[in-house]
Amino acid sequence: MTRTELPSSVLIAGCGIVGAATAFFLARRGVDVTIIDREGPAAAATGAADGAVSVASKRPGPMMVAALSGVALYRQLLAEGVLADLFTPRSTFIIAASDEECTVLEAHGAALSGEGVTVETLGRTALAQRFPALSPSARMGAEVKGDGHAIGYRIVNRLLSTSGVTVRRGVAAKHLIEAANGRIAGIATDKGEFRADAVVIAAGNGAASLLRLDGVMKPRKGQLLVTERAPALNASMPGSIMSGRYLLSKGSQKGGPASGRGYGLVVDPLVTGQFLIGGTREDSDARQTNDFDAVKHILADAVALVPGLADVRLLRAFAGVRTAVVDSLPLVGRWPVHDNLFVAAGFEGDGICLGPVMGQAIAALVCGEQPTLDLSPFTPSRFSACEVAA
Ligand SMILES: Cc1cc2nc3c(=O)[nH]c(=O)nc-3n(C[C@H](O)[C@H](O)[C@H](O)COP(=O)(O)OP(=O)(O)OC[C@H]3O[C@@H](n4cnc5c(N)ncnc54)[C@H](O)[C@@H]3O)c2cc1C
């Protein structure tokens, strides 16, 4: 394959939203694509996410710029019919209830406005009128317009069914196969070798061992709750709520969150009439467990901000594991050593928003084109020790 030719075949490791989106955009160009996944589509973070397609929570800089493109692409795919019924445009309300949160919110609102996002600042009275379900403890708010919501596993299913791409379930990538010319010939798996003209690693937390990035990427668990339907309360909320503390827990104004367990409240009124409430940030990969302390803490925070939730029953709690990178930026781009190897992983808490736009960008790169989104801040070569585990 030269850079101006389409690859004859592409192998993608990982069928989360990033792998599925990459496959979708490659298949649209007529490229023959196979995805392998050690479990199945949306088996990891993508299937356990909230689904905020949101610029509101992003750190100023490349992540905010990428999120703007990400939301724009969701709108485009909705207009094209690809994501019909799956993407719900709506505002995000960031709410501050303390001096510290007010300070963060003011700085964050200014950063969003600076990127061209429409933000309306709401004082206590305006907030109470716009959002009557909120507690009087809410001192100030910012309505971030133009965000949206999408359920990750539904997006994956739609991208796969629309593109007709083959997914090989239960196939775990073990290591890359290096060809004599220094290119990558394919992937050795527990079910044998898979060969292709180009290889994309979109394996979330599985990318670390395939690319020898154990010190660079780490799992970050999040616990989420889902309530029963409460249609009246749900209808009284004009968008999702994010507490100022969520920005602090996510490090949206600084270099990244502190390690250990962080709490940041998000209350999402779902189209079903239920509420999705989260969540935690924990340096752990224990995705099969919720703990009582976390559930209690999240519920107490939610009821403090939206008192009506005290009368709504909790239906279930679950957890997922994000893939965090030490410098809080994902790794997206061509692998420095091998011309036909690409990586798209490490999206932490932003991959539902960024998955489609990053998949589109990687598909362009794989086909020898310059992506419209500037990927230079995300280049894998910033970790100089990058070396393939072949
Ligand atoms: C609790 C929680 C809440 C979140 N909320 C939001 C939100 O509101 N908005 C937002 O934008 N993002 C959110 N996220 C983040 C988002 O879910 C992730 O960033 C995104 O799903 C990452 O997608 P991915 O395709 O890179 O990885 P994943 O979804 O993790 O997919 C990786 C896939 O690779 C497969 N795999 C791994 N190793 C191998 C291997 N060796 N061989 C073959 N297959 C392999 C796995 O089985 C998996 O299917 C949240 C995440 C969590 C956990």
pLDDT, tens digit, for every residue of 62-80?
Answer: 999 999 999 999 999 999 9
Domain spans of the chain, in order of start: 9-47+153-215+327-382, 91-145+217-325
C-beta of 264 in contact with ligand 1 (< 6 A):
no
Query: Hey, which of 34, 35, 37, 74 would you mutate to test ligand 1's pocket, going by the most ligand atoms within 8 Å of its Cβ?
Result: 37
**Domain pair 9-47+153-215+327-382 / 91-145+217-325, same fold:** no
Q: Residue 224, SS3?
A: strand
Tokens of 61: 């800089």
Q: Which residues contact 293 (CB under 8 A, 6 or more apart)?
A: none
Q: Taking residues 245-269, what's their average pLDDT?
A: 71
Q: How confident is the model at residue 4 (pLDDT cuts 50, 70, 90)?
A: low
d(CA 179, CA 282): 39
Residue 389 is predicted with a pLDDT of: 45
Atom of ligand 1 nearest to the CA of 223: 1
* Arithmetic mean of pLDDT over the chain: 92
Give the pLDDT confidence of 122-132 residue by residue, as tens digits.
999 999 998 89
CATH of domain 9-47+153-215+327-382: 3.50.50.60
User: What's the gap between Cα 51 and its chain centre?
Assistant: 8
pLDDT value at 256 more than 60: no
Does 59 sit in the ligand 1 pocket, CB within 6 Å? no
Q: Which two tokens stand for residue 35?
A: 């995805």
Confidence of residue 3 (pLDDT cuts 50, 70, 90): very low
Q: What is the mean pLDDT of residues 10-28?
A: 98
pLDDT one-digit tens code per residue, 153-209: 999 999 999 999 989 999 999 999 999 888 999 999 999 999 999 999 999 999 999
Average pLDDT over residues 26-48: 97
**Res. 388 pLDDT band, cuts 50 70 90:** very low
Q: How many CB atoms lie within 10 A of CB 366?
A: 26
Nearest Cα to Cα of residue 359 among 344, 374, 347, 369? 344
State the sign of the Cα–Cα–Cα–Cα dihedral 215, 64, 349, 210.
negative
The verdict on the CB of residue 18 being under 6 Å from ligand 1 is: yes
Q: At what angle do helices 62-79 and 351-366 cross, to 10 degrees?
A: 80
Number of C-alpha atoms within 13 angstroms, CB side, residue 108? Answer: 33
pLDDT of 100: 87
| Burial label, 310 (beta-carbon count in 10 A; 0-12, 13-18, 19+) | exposed
Atom 51 (ligand 1): residue with closest C-alpha?
49
Asked if the model's pLDDT at residue 255 lies above 50, the reply is: no
**Range of weakest confidence among 156-160, 216-220, 250-254, 374-378:** 250-254
Q: Would you say residue 386 has pLDDT above 60?
A: no
Q: Identify which of 242, 295, 322, 342 to mutate to test ligand 1's pocket (most ligand atoms within 8 A of the CB).
A: 322
Q: Ligand 1 mean position to 46 CA, how many Å?
A: 4
Strands 275-281 and 217-227 come out as antiparallel
Q: Which CATH number does 91-145+217-325 carry?
A: 3.30.9.10
233 CA from centroid of ligand 1 (Å):
31
**359: pLDDT confidence band, cut at 50, 70 and 90?**
very high
Confidence (pLDDT) at 182:
83
- Distance of CA 1 from the midpoint of ligand 1 (Å): 30
Indicate the top mutation candidate among 11, 12, 50 to test ligand 1's pocket, ranked by most ligand atoms within 8 A of CB. Answer: 50
Q: Could you check whether the bond before residue 279 is cis, i.e. omega within 30 degrees of 0?
A: yes
- Cα(354)–Cα(18) distance, rounded to whole angstroms? 8
Residue 20, ligand 1, Cβ within 6 A: no
What confidence score (pLDDT) does residue 2 get? 46
Structure tokens at 118: 């429409």
The lowest-confidence range among 97-106, 209-218, 249-258, 323-332 is: 249-258
When pLDDT is cut at 50, 70 and 90, the band that residue 214 belongs to is: confident
Percent of the chain with pLDDT over 90: 82
